[in-house]
Structure 1
């Protein structure tokens, strides 16, 4: 699986579109304020690191997907 994840990847995993968008938004906020990466303070950016999403939702993704 790729090291970055977007809303469509979460939808393919079974999340509803609004929930997937919310997870991506939370991951971007985490990247800006906790990891000090201002690059993610961009509303058009939709890709976030997979490990951040995994830590937010508490599920480890399979490497095969």
Structure 2
């Protein structure tokens, strides 16, 4: 997901350099959305991992 966000950001930069402002703006918006989705997924999986880790640790004790 982060790779797609970075790819869209690079494409936006190339479009901006070539003068395609509309396309650059669209790709930058897509990159922002993908980054936010990846950040939310990371935080959710981090929380799930922390809670699952505690359950496994308690089961071993």
- What TM-score, normalized to structure 2? 0.38
Greater fraction of residues in strand:
1
Larger Rg computed on CA atoms: 2
Greater fraction of residues in helix:
2
